[in-house]
Structure 1
Amino acid sequence: MSTVLKSIPVADARHEALRIDGQRVWRDATIDVRNPYDGTLVGTVPKATLD
């Protein structure tokens, strides 16, 4: 398979929220999701904690 990889601008990265009881919940603490091939940021996901 021939695929050309291109960088995604940080502004285009996907930022997701937790979904609890059907509601979207935003958190300050997040985990970066990076492309394993070139390390570019492709999105963020909230970090779930017990508090």
Structure 2
Amino acid sequence: SENCHTHGMPLTLWCTVCCSPLCRACATAQEHPGHQIKTQGDAKEQLISD
């Protein structure tokens, strides 16, 4: 998988509000306050089942 341009960490998470990939640092840096964050695997499963 790709790495975050800001933190250099793997993009393993997904913001369901912004529809964008996140790394762990992005998810905890309050860049997405109140947004639902999922693992990319969970987000893919939800898209397939919807």
The TM-score normalised by the length of structure 1 is: 0.25
More strand by share: 1
Q: Which has the higher contact order (CA 8 A, sep 6+)?
A: 1
